[in-house]
Structures are given as structure tokens and as C-alpha cells.
Amino acid sequence: MTPTTSSETEIETTETSLTLRRTFDAPRGRVWRAFTDADAMAQWYGGELMDVEIHALETEPGGSFSITMRDDETYDIEGEFLEVVEHERVVHTWYVGQVTVELTDVAGGTEIELTHDGLPDRETTDMHAQGWGDAVDSLATVLASDEPVTTDTSDAPAAGTTEAAEFDPSAYDVTITRTFDASREAVWAAWTDPEQVAQWWGPEGFTVPHCELDVRPGGSFHVDMEAPDGTVYPDAGEVLEVEAPERLVLVSRAFEDEEGTYQLETQSTVTFEADGERTQLTLDAEVLTATPEVAVHLEGMELGWTGSFEKLEAYLSEAEVGRA
């Protein structure tokens, strides 16, 4: 097996296969869309030197994969999706061989492992290793930018247009599982005591100057998040379900337009599972309604929750030290 590297990309090859690994400083949902959304894929798939036109990207078992890549020559590539596990694994045939992409949460972002096997000879393998390496370098550049890895929303279509009708809020649903080195009771309290919530809620660098939380079915909550630049983002809603200390369901609304209508509504289901003296927490954040205008904020939702959980972990650790 021959190992090579391209920038921060590690590639190992045999005569008939290659395996590529790289870690991106981006949430898994954002990386997943880069491999499963046609507009997002077109931004990076050809690397620096090739133009890409995507004709079909039906990301479900049996769905079509059809693209054209061009440099001095034209390459038409047809395939079929064999396996799709949301946010985890996608497998499809290629014009030669089979491509498997697996995504894993790691410290600092998301690791991909791309395997292309069934290649006919060393020359073809080396050619594809170069191509995949260049493409993944381009993907890293796209992910490092502030632009969303999806259809461009800088000129968001007006409500009621054909373009707006194609906007799919459910594509931004997020599921995160994390284990905290604290008891279930302590983690539950950190989610249900307003004073504690204010210590960790929001992405890194954000503070919470105001927090109200009435933890009972039908109770209301209101959290103001203040960004480093002083912008305040209100988040308000209601509590739907409370099963202390096991399950909490909230509906939140944000981003009012000029008429006072919320442009984003999400439902968050949080489960707390005891694991000895530790707690496994699972967050399922479902986008119930959203307008295309908030797509850029939806792109950052998983990253925002990940940052909040980093702060929650630090808060729980400090609280444990204080109790010792």
C-alpha cells in the first residue's frame, strides 16, 4: 500500500483501490450536503482544473448519479446509488469501480474517508487518486469560506416563486449525540435552570444577557443571545413535553421579519440517558418552517449547537470542580 499526501489529505493506494482521509473544520451536516446536494457538489467536485455539470444526483438507493466533467476533454460519468445512510455513509457506482464516502464526527470537525475500489490497474488508480485529492482540496476551500455549501441564497427568492417552492427546510435537520462527564441530574439542571442555561447557551463568543424558562408543558421560554459584535438574537418559544430527567421537547421561533412574522421555527427534542456517572445527551433539531432568507443561518445551526455543547461541557466540568 502506497501512502501519499496532498496538503492535509492522506491517500493510500493499492493496485486497484484508493482510500482518502481528511478532516474538515465544519459540521457533519455541512459536509454531508457537499456530497449529496447538486448545487453544493458543483462548487468543488472538479477541483481547480475541471468544470462540472451535474445532471442527476438522486441520493437514495437505486437513484441515478450522472455528471459531466470537462478540461481539455469531456468525461461523462454515470452511476447508481447503492446505499445512503443520512449524514453517515453514501455508496455509489462510478464509470469504473465503486465509491464509498463515510463521515464521522471528530474533535475539531468532520472526518471523511473516501474509498474508491474496483479500479482496473495502477495507472487508473493513480489518476483517480490525483483527481480525488484535488477535489477534496477544493472542498476544504469551500467549507472554509463563509458561504453556505448549498444553493446560493444571497439573492433569496421571494415567497411564492418557483425557486422558493424548491427550498427544503427539512434538509437542515440536525441530530447530535454527545456524552458529558456529569450525572443525568446535573445535565438536566443545566438545561432547565435559567441561570445555568445562560452560562452555556449559544455558539462560542456569544453571551446570554436575558433568559426566561418555564419548564412545564405549555410553559414559555425566551433567550436573548448577544453576538461578539453586539447584535442580539432573540429566541422564543414554548415547552411541549417534560419528562424529568429524561426528555425535554421545545419549539422555538426566531428571525422576525418587518411584519413581525417569524421566519424560522424549530422543534428540539432532547433526551438524557444515564451512563453510569456520565450522561449521553441526544439532540434532534427539526426545522418545522423556514423561509429561504434564513438559509444561511440554517447552514450554521449544527455548528452553533456544537459550540454550545462545548461550552456546556466546560460549564459542567467547572461546576463539578466547585462541588468537589
Decide if pLDDT at 110 tops 60: yes
Statement to judge: residues 140 and 171 lie in one domain: no
Calculate the average pLDDT of the chain: 87
Side chain identity, residue 107: A
Number of domains in the chain: 2
Assess whether 171 and 90 both reside in one domain. no
Do 85 and 208 lie in one domain? The reply is no
Spell out where 207-297 has E strands.
207-213, 220-226, 232-243, 247-256, 262-275, 278-290
Q: What is the pLDDT of residues 162-215, one digit of tens each?
A: 344 467 888 889 999 999 999 999 999 999 999 999 999 998 889 999 999 999
In a domain, 297, yes or no: yes
The pLDDT value recorded for residue 165 is 47
199 and 304 in one domain? yes
Whole domain around residue 276: which residue ranges? 162-323
Q: What does the pLDDT look like over 49-65, one tens digit per residue?
A: 788 999 999 999 999 99
Helix runs in the chain, H state only = 28-36, 38-42, 122-144, 162-165, 184-192, 194-200, 295-299, 301-323
pLDDT at 320 over 90: no
Do 96 and 196 lie in one domain? The reply is no
Does residue 151 form part of some domain?
no
Mean per-residue pLDDT, 265-277: 95
Mean per-residue pLDDT, 215-233: 92
Q: Which residues lie closer than 8 Å to 284 by C-beta, 6 or more apart? A: 173, 174, 175, 268, 269, 270
Say whether both 128 and 64 belong to one domain: yes
Cβ neighbour number for residue 307 with a 10 Å cutoff: 18
Contact status, residue 40 vs residue 158, Cβ threshold 8 Å = no
Note whether residue 155 is domain-resident. Answer: no
Percent of the chain with pLDDT over 70: 90
Asked if the structure places residue 291 within a domain, the reply is: yes
End-to-end CA distance of the chain: 51
Q: What is the pTM of this model?
A: 0.52
Same domain membership, residue 178 and residue 300: yes
pLDDT at 33: 84
- pLDDT band at 108, cuts 50/70/90? low
pLDDT given for residue 8 in this prediction:
82
Answer yes or no: is 150 within a domain.
no
Q: Which of 92, 115, 144 is where one domain is finished?
A: 144
Same domain, 48 and 110: yes
- Residue 249 in this model has a pLDDT that exceeds 70: yes
Q: What is the CATH number of the domain that holds 302?
A: 3.30.530.20
Task: Extract the C-alpha cell encoding 174.
Answer: 440536525
